[in-house]
């Protein structure tokens, strides 16, 4: 099989949560360009409409679904709608996430619950539903969890995001455990651990600490609009079929220094 054939996603169906902007939209572009039919979800319809137009202008077949992944009682219906649109889901990218900043000693219950519900609970319940419905019966699937370098280490003292770091650490070991358990179903489970990418969620942090953060990155640049595309394509395609249980940093070298 040629390298082009290994990366070809023609006929595959990909579901990307939090896919209306930022890293989610970037990965949806990548898989769509390789031939996948793409389903993106988000909470805000306006952002979904803008993303849908953008992807369709690129020639990508796309379905949008308004959904709040933190409400676990809606997940089964959400998967129903996705499957009705394009058929069984081959590729699941768990990208929807939240953060909340506060000192650990004063961290509010509301903030902890919000971050954990979306970053950990929703990821599990959606992955379980998609696997039982689409992947395990066919013995095929690619699950890509979007963790973070915040799940691989602690924080500098001036970054106070205890719930986010904890949730992303959970994502990392969730990936390892699920890869080991589901390997015999021919389901690959990996995570991508982004470093600092300018986004709506990270903008406040970058405004406050951007120069200091840049000093910690060996490549001396933040992540850009195409820097998640290649790894997402690898892990979603047959080119990555012998990779599972891995947590791969896309961080300009931050975790190496």
Q: Which residues carry out catalysis?
A: 164
Report the C-alpha gap between 203 and 197 in whole angstroms.
9
Interstrand relation of 13-17 and 91-94 (parallel, antiparallel or unpaired): parallel
Q: Torsions phi, psi of 175, nearest 5?
A: -60, -45
Residue with tokens 């389903």: 39
Give one word for 194, left, alpha or beta, with left for phi > 0 and alpha for psi -120 to 50: beta
Residues 196 and 213 sit within 8 Å (Cβ to Cβ):
yes
Report the C-alpha gap between 141 and 236 in whole angstroms.
9
The token pair that represents 215 in the structure block: 């000093």
């Amino acid at each position: 099989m040629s390298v082009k054939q290994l990366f070809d996603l023609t006929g595959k169906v990909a579901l990307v949560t939090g896919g209306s902007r930022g890293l989610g939209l970037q990965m949806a572009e990548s898989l769509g360009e390789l031939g996948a039919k793409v389903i993106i979800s988000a909470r805000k319809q306006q952002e979904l409409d803008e993303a849908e137009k953008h992807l369709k202008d690129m020639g990508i077949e796309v379905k949008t679904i308004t959904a709040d992944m933190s409400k676990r009682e809606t997940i089964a219906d959400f998967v129903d709608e996705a499957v009705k649109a394009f058929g069984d889901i081959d590729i699941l990218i768990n990208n929807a996430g939240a953060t909340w900043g506060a000192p650990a000693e004063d961290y509010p219950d509301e903030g902890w619950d919000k971050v954990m519900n979306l970053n950990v609970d929703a990821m599990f319940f959606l992955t379980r539903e998609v696997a039982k419905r689409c992947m395990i019966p066919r013995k095929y699937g690619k699950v890509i969890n979007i963790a973070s370098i915040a799940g691989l280490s602690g924080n500098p003292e001036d970054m106070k995001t205890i719930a986010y770091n904890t949730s992303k650490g959970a994502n990392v070991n969730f990936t390892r455990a699920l890869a080991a358990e589901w390997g015999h179903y021919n389901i690959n489970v990996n995570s991508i651990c982004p470093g600092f990418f300018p986004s709506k969620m990270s903008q406040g942090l970058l405004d406050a600490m951007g120069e200091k953060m840049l000093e910690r990155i060996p490549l001396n640049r933040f992540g850009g609009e195409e820097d998640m595309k290649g790894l997402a394509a690898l892990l979603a395609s047959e080119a990555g079929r012998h990779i599972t249980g891995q947590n791969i940093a896309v961080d300009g070298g931050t975790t190496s220094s």
